């Protein structure tokens, strides 16, 4: 089962400000024309307004759009309560984002009819407790249940039975398949004339491989509704308590620009490991070992992140509060209080840019080795021998 809240941020705002009901509403980080839309009400979507659209463009399409400033804390609190409610229906719940989760019903329901009853109960309980709409998709794997909830939106409950999957896949636009982004969809359309997963099935695996390389098998399987990725329950991800990295400096120093470079490197390594584990840190700990081996740690609570730049800026801030009257021998960064629920940070344009840089570095390092790219500021840093 895939459960996904409808127009989540907006629905929370409309619930708390009932006069917004039925109106074109959008939530965004800053209410400035340079900012982007986080999400839009279904009324606003009718004019073409959607997530990640610049505000000025949204206002052009929908001049009477009502803009509300995002209240992340509130959405995170609601999200946590919803996940808790979902967890009372299955021991195996995987939070996939701030407003969606997968539930394993394998041992809960003996067939799809029973699963549907569970879905109805969940919808009723969430409506009653939180007065928020959601859509539930049920099928035989994650890919298909997510497709089901997408088709069933808003406020729906959609089942794709195993025997119906081919029919659904034949008639679904390819970009509705989770994991096929607009870029891949465009390439599939232009290069291969693929509009639906049904069309994609006609393309041989080796042909896909020549264009999509490591993604070819995913595409081949997705076209057939095959997905063997397991539901990883939140408690399994949460057992990982912290992720850290430290570096003994090549020489003892209290030169701040040098120390900042080291923090930059460590931030990248820690953030990369967070991303690899699909985890977000809510606490950053800095370890400083002085030349006399005296060691101190300082920590700061933060909004969930796995972006190098955010961790770097926090680390610098912490280091600024540490005494630098003696030379430092080792620096370390540890990310702790880890959670698996990502919090979308598209609001801050700098976050988006940094995310792209991080991802590009991850891809290049995976393909050509870990030394292929680095921050220019780190060029003079070598390990102590």
Catalytic residue positions?
Answer: 100
Q: What does residue 44 show for φ and ψ, rounded to 5 degrees? A: -70, -35
Binding partner of residue 300 among ligand TTP, Mg ion, none, CB cut-off 5 to 8 Å per kind? none
DSSP string computed for 83-135: HHHHTTT-S-EEEEETTEEEE--TTT-SSHHHHHHHHHHHHHHHHHHH---EE
Q: How far is the CB of 363 from ligand TTP (least distance, A)?
A: 21
Pattern 35-64, ligand TTP, x by CB under 6 A: ---xx-----------xx------------
Binding partner of residue 154 among Mg ion, ligand TTP, none, CB cut-off 5 to 8 Å per kind? ligand TTP
Q: How far is the CB of 55 from ligand TTP (least distance, A)?
A: 13
Pattern 89-108, Mg ion, x by CB under 5 A: ----------x---------
| Distant-in-sequence, close-in-space partners of 176: CB < 8 Å, separation ≥ 6 | 147, 150, 151
Q: How far is the CB of 141 from ligand TTP (least distance, A)?
A: 20
Rule CB under 6 A: choose which of 1, 3, 7, 66 binds ligand TTP.
Answer: 7
CA distance 280 to 277: 9
CA distance 220 to 14: 41
Residue 301 parent element (H or E): strand 295-305
Q: How far is the CB of 359 from ligand TTP (least distance, A)?
A: 15
Judged by CB under 6 A, how many residues of this single chain contact ligand TTP? 17
| Distant-in-sequence, close-in-space partners of 141: CB < 8 Å, separation ≥ 6 | 225, 226, 227, 228, 229
> Quick check: 99 and 76 in contact, CB under 8 A?
no
126 forms part of the interface with Mg ion (CB under 5 A): no
Contacts to ligand TTP from residues 58-117, by CB under 6 A: 98-100
349 forms part of the interface with ligand TTP (CB under 6 A): no
Q: Which is nearer to ligand TTP, 94 or 100 (CB)?
A: 100
User: Is the preceding peptide bond at 181 cis, omega within 30 degrees of 0?
Assistant: no
CA distance 303 to 91: 27
5 forms part of the interface with Mg ion (CB under 5 A): yes
> Quick check: 242 and 274 in contact, CB under 8 A?
no
4 forms part of the interface with ligand TTP (CB under 6 A): yes
Q: How far is the CB of 50 from Mg ion (least distance, A)?
A: 12
Q: Footprint of ligand TTP on this chain (CB under 6 A)?
A: 4-9, 38-39, 51-52, 98-100, 153-154, 344, 346
- Which chain residues interact with Mg ion by CB under 5 A? 4-5, 8, 99
């Amino acid at each position: 089962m895939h459960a996904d809240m409808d127009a989540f941020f907006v629905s929370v705002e409309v619930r708390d400000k009932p006069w917004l009901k039925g109106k074109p509403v959008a939530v965004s980080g800053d209410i400035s024309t340079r900012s982007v839309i986080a999400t839009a009400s279904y009324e606003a979507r009718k004019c073409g307004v959607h997530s990640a659209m610049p505000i000025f463009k949204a206002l052009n399409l929908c001049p009477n759009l009502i803009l509300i400033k995002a209240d992340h804390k509130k959405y995170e609190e609601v999200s946590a309560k919803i996940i808790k409610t979902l967890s009372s229906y299955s021991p195996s719940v995987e939070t996939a984002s701030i407003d969606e989760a997968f539930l394993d019903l394998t041992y809960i329901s003996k067939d799809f009819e029973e699963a549907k009853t569970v879905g109805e109960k969940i919808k009723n309980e969430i409506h009653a407790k939180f007065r928020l709409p959601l859509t539930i998709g049920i099928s035989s794997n994650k890919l298909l249940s997510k497709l089901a909830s997408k088709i069933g939106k808003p406020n729906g409950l959609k089942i794709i039975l195993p025997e119906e999957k081919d029919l659904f896949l034949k008639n679904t636009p390819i970009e509705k398949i989770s994991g096929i982004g607009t870029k891949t969809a465009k390439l599939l359309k232009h290069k291969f004339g693929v509009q639906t997963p049904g069309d994609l099935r006609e393309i041989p695996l080796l042909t896909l491989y020549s264009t999509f390389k490591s993604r070819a098998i995913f595409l081949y399987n997705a076209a057939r509704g095959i997905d063997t990725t397991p539901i990883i329950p939140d408690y399994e991800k949460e057992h990982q308590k912290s992720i850290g990295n430290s570096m003994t400096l090549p020489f003892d120093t209290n030169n701040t620009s040098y120390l900042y470079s080291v923090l930059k490197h460590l931030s990248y390594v820690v953030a990369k490991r967070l991303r690899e584990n699909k985890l977000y840190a809510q606490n950053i700990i800095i370890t400083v070992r002085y030349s006399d081996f005296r060691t101190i740690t300082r920590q700061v609570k933060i909004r969930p992140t796995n972006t190098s730049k955010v961790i770097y800026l926090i680390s610098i801030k912490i280091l600024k509060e540490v005494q630098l009257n003696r030379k430092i021998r080792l620096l370390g960064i540890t990310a702790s209080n880890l959670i698996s629920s990502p919090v979308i940070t598209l609001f801050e344009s700098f976050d988006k840019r940094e995310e792209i840089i991080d991802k590009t570095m991850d891809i290049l390092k995976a393909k050509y080795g870990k030394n292929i790219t680095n921050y220019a500021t780190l060029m003079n840093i070598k390990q102590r021998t």
